[in-house]
Structure 1
Amino acid sequence: MIKLKKTLIYYRKKKLGGLPGFFGVKMIRKFKKTDSDEIMQIWLDCNINAHDFVAKEYWQKNYPFVRDAIQYAEVYIYEIDQKIVAFIGLQNDYIAGIFVKKDFQGQGIGQQLLNYAKDRHTELTLSVYEKNKNAVNFYVKHGFSIEKSSVDTDTGEVDYLMKWKRKNADRQIFSQYECWLTKRSTPIN
């Protein structure tokens, strides 16, 4: 066991460049005003990286507006070892975005934030650029459907309005019960 632990620590430090949070304490918490600088840097970096088809200046120009809007949004922070690595921003039932630092993408953090929001809402909508295939596929995988497409007048890019709606859990349980009754009441030949 000690040898395995030393091997994992070595692997973490040498091979993965430390990979912050690999063994760390993870949590989702509400946004605090003191988080603003850190989450805004994540917002800017993620948008520039994910949207190479939109000019970098567009995101830089919108930075002050978003910084103000975040103060009034429902924002949840994902921390590893008390370091912010991701966040989700909501305005009522609208997901303004899920933003995960590049080094932490692909680890299920975005999914955890999305599920956290789903637990608190019966339906959610969002807009995503058509060319952002990774995001479109992510949301489809997690039960969102494309409701309509339009052209974003600021960027000239096609974006999708996507929607998720909680299925009626009571109806699902009742339907399963109905199927069970039907199967049990069918005569065995």
Structure 2
Amino acid sequence: MKIRKLNTKDIETVVELWYETSIIAHDFIQADYWEKNKEAMASIYLPNSETYLAIEDEKIAGFVAMAENFLAAIFVNNQIQGKGIGRKLLNFVKDTRTMIQLKVYKKNMKTVDFYRSQGFEVISENKEEKTGEYEFLMEWREE
């Protein structure tokens, strides 16, 4: 697996990966919420983030998007989760920072557990206005 920076031509594929993964990982939120956010993801979030792709067999296997020290997104193709791709992407951005914060839905326990296993700690819990769901603010600091 190699990691490279996002190119404009990758955006459509990355948005589809984000959408397909989001509706499964966040099955407690209506799928149309994610559908409505596809355009913003393509035109605002990805172009304005520091985004890296995990490439495996010449295909995009996952991506990580950073906004300074905030991990805005990390997603791995549903078919190949559990093979260390997310961990490699996370370690890639950890190597360039001393602190990272992120938000994750409280009900998304699989992902909460993943972040805890990677050294993140819950520092607060808040209700997200758009979805009405509770989310954790988590933080990792270099030791």
TM-score by length of 1: 0.74
Aligned partner of 2:34 in structure 1 is: 59
Superposed displacement of residue 72, structure 1: 1.4
For residues 69-80 of structure 1, the aligned pairs below 5 Å read 69-80=45-56
Residues 73-104 of structure 1: per-residue CA shift (max 9 Å, x gap)? 10000001211110001111001111100111
CA distance in 1, matches of 2:28, 2:78: 18
- Aligned partner letter, 2:108: N
- What value does the CA root-mean-square deviation take over the aligned residues? 0.6
Residues 156-182 of structure 1: per-residue CA shift (max 9 Å, x gap)? 100000000101xxxxxxxxxxxxxxx
| Structure 2 unaligned residues grouped into runs of 5+ | none
> Quick check: 1:139 aligned with 2:115?
yes
| Structure 1 unaligned residues grouped into runs of 5+ | 1-25, 168-189
Pairing partner for 1:151 from 121, 124, 127: 127
What is the SS of the residue equivalent to 2:18? Answer: helix
What is the SS of the residue equivalent to 2:2? Answer: strand
Aligned length: 142
Aligned partner of 2:17 in structure 1 is: 42
Deviating runs (4+, > 2 A) in structure 1? none
Aligned partner of 1:179 in structure 2 is: none
What is the SS of the residue equivalent to 1:160? Answer: strand
Residues 129-185 of structure 1: per-residue CA shift (max 9 Å, x gap)? 000000100000100000000000011100000000101xxxxxxxxxxxxxxxxxx
CA distance in 2, matches of 1:102, 1:27: 18
Aligned partner of 2:4 in structure 1 is: 29
Residue identity over aligned pairs, in percent, reads 36
Q: Give 1 or 2 for the bigger CA radius of gyration.
A: 1
TM-score by length of 2: 0.97
More RCO (CA 8 Å, sep 6+): 2
Q: Which structure shows the bigger proportion of residues in strand conformation?
A: 2
Q: Which structure shows the bigger proportion of residues in helix conformation?
A: 1
